[in-house]
Amino acid sequence: MDRLNGRKNGIYCSVGLLTWFDKWFRDRPLWVAWYTKTQTVDSVLKAVKARGWEGETMIWQYASDGDIDEDGKGDGKQLGSSYNWLDLNVWIGDDADWLNWKNGGVMDIKPLAQGDARWGGDKLGTSNTTISGYGCLITCVTMMLNHLGWAETPGTLNVKLRDNGGFHSGNLFVWGSLSALYPGVAFAYRYSGSATDKINASLAAGMPVIVHVDYNPSTPAIDEHWVLVVGRQDGDYVINDPKDGKQLLFSTRYGVASKNIHTVCTYNFSGIVPPVEPEPEPSPIEAGQVVATLVNLNIRKGAGTKYGVWATAPKGTKLDVLEIKGDWVRCGWNQWALSKYNGVRYLE
């Protein structure tokens, strides 16, 4: 069914029969029936959890006395029911939760990859590790800041953090360091465990959430990795994963959120982002110039990717521009470098 309609389908069941379901189904959204109006939302959620259900409980159905007009008598039969009592359904959550569930609320946040060639080879903080290898967290922070209105890359953020006390022990991010660099951005709290209620509250307030997951769930050890939760869809979370710069459902890569989110970190924002001054268009590269590589750049045997690679010029390498052919620059005898691709410059 999931493959047919592209959704993570939920299950309707009475609370007493939840234990009948195999563990493979227990991560699904739940519409639970417990026909006792003396229960409360808290007691229902507690009972569901005690029976091993791991998915989010969305709706509670219970039996009321059916007294709509408050005359002391049930009105179910007058309304077309077989009985005077009526089943009522309680949405467990607030109005924002309902809209997120109904409309699939996902923030428009462009995913970024920590291994992008433009910054992946940069040293992280003051350490010898790289953004590509260990920069998942600052890549998540970058995406969050861009959502708030700044224009950063993991590379530019890395430099600002490095120069302003944003790292300790070389490459460990200081969560509270953003407020000095980005007015109005304040670290809120670090929660142990999945804390899905805190995630939902932050999303409802328009703030993405940074969460710690296991980089490789197939191994016994928990390998630290951070992803950005950007919304909810059909009872699942939508994440931007800096591992490869993709946006996807949490469950497709990391399984059940309530089990496989190990830490939740939230930020608050109260401020106005200053307008970003547009960067001037760079001057076109011309023959006779000396340019520098902005990334680790392959030097090929001809003007095209079909040609073999002589070597890779490290970021910052100076090259003489001897000839230009389209987006390719000749920098030596049968030595060609790509100057730009899809609007991204590799030489300046």
Q: What's the rounded Cα separation, in Å, for the pair 17 and 5?
A: 26
Tell me the mean pLDDT in the region 236-257: 94
Contact 114, 131 (CB under 8 A): yes
Fold entry, domain 290-345: SH3 type barrels. (2.30.30)
Tell me the mean pLDDT in the region 104-120: 90
Q: How confident is the model at residue 99 (pLDDT cuts 50, 70, 90)?
A: low
pLDDT at 100 over 80: no
pLDDT at 264 over 60: yes
Instruction: Please tell me the predicted confidence (pLDDT) of residue 291.
Output: 92
Residues of the chain with CATH 3.90.70.10: 131-269
Q: What's the rounded Cα separation, in Å, for the pair 256 and 18?
A: 17
**Residue whose structure tokens are 């009321």:** 64
Average pLDDT over the chain reads 87
**Residue whose structure tokens are 């001057």:** 283
| CA-based nearest residue to 203, from 280, 134, 144, 131 | 144
Two tokens, residue 261 = 């989110």
Residues of the chain with CATH 2.30.30.40: 290-345
| CA-based nearest residue to 9, from 28, 37, 34 | 28
| CA-based nearest residue to 122, from 144, 142, 145 | 142
Q: What superfamily does domain 131-269 belong to in CATH?
A: Cysteine proteinases (3.90.70.10)
Q: How far is CA 125 from CA 157, 180, 266, in A?
A: 10, 17, 22
For residue 245, what are the contacts with CB-CB under 8 A and spacing of at least 6?
A: 111, 112, 113, 116
Instruction: Please tell me the predicted confidence (pLDDT) of residue 2.
Output: 61
Instruction: Please tell me the predicted confidence (pLDDT) of residue 182.
Output: 95
Q: How confident is the model at residue 9 (pLDDT cuts 50, 70, 90)?
A: confident
Q: Where are the beta strands (DSSP E) in 111-253?
A: 167-168, 172-173, 185-192, 209-214, 224-233, 236-241, 246-249
pLDDT at 5 over 60: no
List pLDDT tens digits, range 121-155.
Answer: 999 999 999 999 999 999 999 999 999 999 999 99
Tell me the mean pLDDT in the region 44-52: 90
